[in-house]
Structures are given as structure tokens and as C-alpha cells.
């Protein structure tokens, strides 16, 4: 049916009958219609920082269902470099002033917002209004309200939305999900997860500026541990408590340095997590009634490493997680496969982030969560 729609729409577009007003009302079809080879969707990266430069752009050289079609950057000098390196036509190069005119560019199907956290909502909403499908880098935004605004904008403009949760497309993660789902090691009793690194260097980096990041370790690596706690149990938590630790306040001026949090789950599982900008940590361990399984590292760019109480050493062919992630989203758009990281998942995690900060503000008091199955997609 999608294919039919796409073909039908292509017909209209070919006849020049579609003005921008109509496009704004039919963005899904619009996005699909611009797929030049009917297989690969064009992605534009918004923000050409290190993640776009060293992870996303190289990954887009390996994707089967999408490709690097355009860029949006505020740094003029980057334009020519990227154009040459990735064979990007001038018409697909935007800056932050003319960004909204991307609505008129049929070569761009998906806009991937890779800006500092506080800018996610603004650009995701504008991308949606431009009729483009949206990938929003994690964390989805800096508040639940912003997540709602992004989700609403995508719904209203009938575009698809995914959060940049690369681990959701990783085979090790999915093996863990299978263990949980199939109770390979029995019921999960306890999950321990860490996600952190030691932040050094420029104290003016945007991650250490709350106005741009919305928070410190929790808004960065912490989201991975929230995610592992959830796919490590297969459930959303029903309550959370948290603590903050500060030992280098001169460096971490207004963002959190280290946070620990504890989760309760309805099935009796318990989890605790640690996230830090002052300590390394990269692990998920699930203790079950009949054994255990572990990923360590659990969320680096891979390959991930996994072991189990059966003596198994997990081994999957290594592919760039971001390539798998963007292909998953492209397939979702093209073929209607599952959206493995929908906006609802990003919003759920932001609800948890806000509850963690609230618990810290209230001296570690437990915060009840009413998430149901929100964001659980497998």
C-alpha cells in the first residue's frame, strides 16, 4: 500500500501539480517521493560535529536503504570539504538560516538532528514541518515537554520519527533482549549497568554547559544505562531513586558529574545504574534465576562483547551500529518494518531522566513512574 501511495504521489509530483502547501499536508508521501532510486532514502545531517564526522557519515557509506544526501552546518568552511568528500551537490547544502527551505528539496527524505541537546526540539520540529522524516540524536530533548512537542510535530506532519538509539539495532543488544524474552537464563532478578567516561579537556565543551546539554553525565551516557536497565529486564521501571556525586565542581560547573540510580520493576527485578563524566563504565550484567549474561563493553561503537553463565561468548559480525540504525529507520519508512527506536521511547527515557533529577533534588526520595509499556517495542 505504501508503494502504491508512493507511486501515485510520484505521478502527481511528476506533473508539477504539487505546491509547497500540499507538500506540507502530505509530508510522508513527499518524503517517499523524493527517493531517487526507490531504494535509498536521502539523509541530511544537521550539525557536523565529531559524531556526524566520525560516525554517521562513514556509516552512511555502508547503508543499504539510505545515503548521505545533504548537510546542514553553521560552519561555512565545512561545506566544501563535505561536498567533495561525500559528493554532495550544492543544492543539498544548508546553513541554519536557510534550513527551513529544505522543505522544497526532494532529495532529502530524512533529517538527522545531531545538534546539542537543547537544540533538538527546535530542529526536529522544523524538520517535521518541512515534511521530512526525523531522526533525533539521543537524548531526545532536554525535557519531556520538548519530547511531546517533537512527537506532536511529527504526527501532525505525518512524518516518521526515531531517536538515535544505535544500540537498539545492535545484534548483541538484541541477543540480550532475546534472553530476557525467552527466559533463557530464567527470570531476571538484578541488572547492573554502568555508562561513563572521564571527561577532560575543554571545560567549555557544550556537554558541560547546561544551557546546551540540559544536564551532564545523565543526559549523555546515562541514557544508555536507562536503556540497558530496561532491555535488561524487558520492562519499564515502576519507580526510581537516585543520587548525585560531585568531586570536581570547578570543572563540572553546572552539569552532573556522577549519578547512581535504582529501579524497581513490576516483576520483582531490581536494577541499579551508574553514569559518570568522571569514571569509565560500559557494562550490562543481568543476574537471573538460572544464570547470568553480560555485555562489557555494552554500548561503545563496537564490537560489543558478551558472555553468559553457560560459557557462551557472543559473537556477531561487526557492522557499524549507526549504519544498522539508519537502515532500520529507512526500512521502517520504506517497508513498514518496526520502528525500533520511536519517539515514545525517547520520551519515556526523558520521563525517567526527569524523575532521576527530581529524586536527587528530593534527597534520594523514590519517584513512582507510570510508564506502562511506553516505548517498549520488542
Q: Given the rule CB under 8 A, which residues bind its own copies? A: 189-190, 192, 194, 196, 198, 241, 243, 245, 247-248, 258, 260, 262, 264, 268, 270, 272, 274, 276, 278-281, 283, 285, 287, 289, 292, 359, 363-366
Would you say 238 and 271 are in contact if contact means Cβ atoms under 8 Å apart? Answer: no
What's the CA angle centered on 256, arms 241 and 196, to 5 degrees?
Answer: 85
DSSP state of 55: I
For the bound state, the minimum distance from the C-beta of residue 288 to its own copies, rounded and expressed in Å, comes to 8
Of 2 and 365, CB closest to its own copies: 365
Task: Give which of 348, 222, 213 is closest to 274, Cα–Cα.
Answer: 222
Of 83 and 307, CB closest to its own copies: 307
Q: Which CB contacts under 8 angstroms, 24+ apart, belong to 102-105?
A: 102/44, 102/70, 102/72, 102/127, 102/130, 102/132, 103/20, 103/23, 103/24, 103/129, 103/130, 103/131, 103/132, 104/20, 105/34, 105/70
**Terminal-to-terminal C-alpha distance of the chain:** 24
For the bound state, the minimum distance from the C-beta of residue 344 to its own copies, rounded and expressed in Å, comes to 27
For the bound state, the minimum distance from the C-beta of residue 228 to its own copies, rounded and expressed in Å, comes to 14
For the bound state, the minimum distance from the C-beta of residue 245 to its own copies, rounded and expressed in Å, comes to 5
Of 277 and 348, CB closest to its own copies: 277
Of 149 and 270, CB closest to its own copies: 270
| Cα–Cα distance, 29 to 74 (Å, whole number) | 29
Of 10 and 184, CB closest to its own copies: 184
For the bound state, the minimum distance from the C-beta of residue 195 to its own copies, rounded and expressed in Å, comes to 11
Amino acid at each position: 500500500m505504501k508503494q502504491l501511495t508512493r507511486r501515485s504521489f510520484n505521478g502527481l509530483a511528476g506533473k508539477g501539480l504539487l505546491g509547497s502547501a500540499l507538500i506540507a499536508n502530505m509530508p510522508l508521501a513527499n518524503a517517499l517521493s523524493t527517493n531517487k532510486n526507490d531504494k535509498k532514502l536521502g539523509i541530511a545531517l544537521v550539525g557536523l560535529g565529531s559524531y556526524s564526522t566520525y560516525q554517521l557519515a562513514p556509516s552512511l557509506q555502508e547503508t543499504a536503504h539510505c545515503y548521505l544526501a545533504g548537510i546542514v552546518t553553521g560552519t561555512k568552511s565545512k561545506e566544501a570539504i563535505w561536498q567533495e568528500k561525500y559528493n554532495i551537490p550544492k543544492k543539498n547544502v544548508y546553513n541554519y538560516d536557510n534550513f527551513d527551505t529544505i522543505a522544497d528539496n526532494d532529495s532529502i527524505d530524512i533529517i538527522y538532528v545531531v545538534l546539542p541537546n537543547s537544540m533538538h526540539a527546535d530542529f526536529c520540529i522544523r524538520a517535521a514541518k518541512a515534511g521530512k522524516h526525523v531522526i533525533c540524536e539521543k537524548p531526545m530533548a532536554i525535557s519531556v515537554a520538548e519530547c511531546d512537542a517533537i512527537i506532536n510535530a511529527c504526527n501532525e506532519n505525518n512524518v516518521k520519527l526515531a531517536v538515535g538509539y544505535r544500540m537498539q539495532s545492535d545484534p548483541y543488544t538484541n541477543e540480550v533482549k532475546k534472553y530476557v524474552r525467552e527466559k533463557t537464563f530464567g527470570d531476571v532478578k538484578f541488572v547492573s549497568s554502568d555508562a561513563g567516561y572521564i571527561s577532560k579537556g575543554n571545560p567549555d565543551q557544550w556537554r558541560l554547559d547546561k544551557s546546551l546539554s540540559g544536564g551532564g553525565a545523565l543526559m549523555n551516557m546515562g541514557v544508555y544505562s536507562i536503556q540497558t536497565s530496561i532491555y535488561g529486564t524487558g520492562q519499564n521501571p515502576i519507580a526510581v531513586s537516585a543520587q548525585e556525586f560531585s568531586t570536581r565542581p570547578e570543572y563540572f560547573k553546572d552539569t552532573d558529574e556522577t549519578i547512581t540510580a535504582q529501579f524497581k520493576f513490576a516483576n520483582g527485578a531490581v536494577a541499579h545504574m551508574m553514569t559518570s563524566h568522571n569514571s569509565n563504565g560500559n557494562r550490562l550484567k543481568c543476574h537471573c534465576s538460572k544464570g547470568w549474561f553480560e555485555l562489557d563493553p555494552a554500548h561503545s561503537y563496537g564490537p560489543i562483547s558478551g558472555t553468559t553463565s553457560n560459557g557462551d561468548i557472543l559473537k556477531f559480525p561487526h557492522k557499524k551500529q549507526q549504519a544498522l540504525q539508519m537502515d532500520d529507520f529507512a526500512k521502517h519508512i520504506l517497508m513498514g518494518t518496526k520502528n525500533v527506536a520511536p519517539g515514545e521511547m525517547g520520551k519515556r527515557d526523558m520521563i525517567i531522566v526527569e524523575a532521576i533529577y527530581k529524586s536527587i533534588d528530593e534527597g534520594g526520595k523514590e519517584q513512582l513512574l507510570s510508564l506502562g509499556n511506553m516505548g517498549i517495542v520488542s
